Amino acid sequence: MWRSSKCSKPYLTYFRHVKHFHESPIVKYSYNSASYIIFLLLFSYYLLFNFEIPKNQIPAIHWTEILVIIIVTTMFIEEIRQVKKKSIFFFYSKILINKF
């Protein structure tokens, strides 16, 4: 493993504590809840104030619409990742159960 002489041990333990803090389940849940609330607020703002019926002119996309599209796309990709991870775990558990 490569180690830098510039990083001392207290810095490494500090970053390890920060990493463990952000990987804890309650912090992950808090981040997920806060991001979902922000998404709901942004989506409702877009629907209430910036939703326009398409016309024959050149469509203009508001920045809130772009941000909502990006957020929904990342949520969709995350759901696909979780399903693939769960299906792989399910597949390996079936193999292990049938093996013994």
Q: Is the pTM value of this prediction over 0.85?
A: no
Which residue did the predictor score with more confidence, 58 or 5? 58
What are the tens digits of pLDDT across the range 58-80?
A: 777 888 888 999 999 999 998 88
How many Å apart are CA 49 and CA 68, to the nearest integer? 14
Q: How confident is the model at residue 1 (pLDDT cuts 50, 70, 90)?
A: very low
For the record, the structure tokens of 28 come out as 């992950």
- Measured CA to CA, the distance from residue 96 to residue 6 in angstroms comes to 46
- The confidence band for 29, taking pLDDT boundaries of 50, 70 and 90, is very high
pLDDT number for residue 74: 93
Is residue 62 within 8 Å of 46, Cβ to Cβ? yes
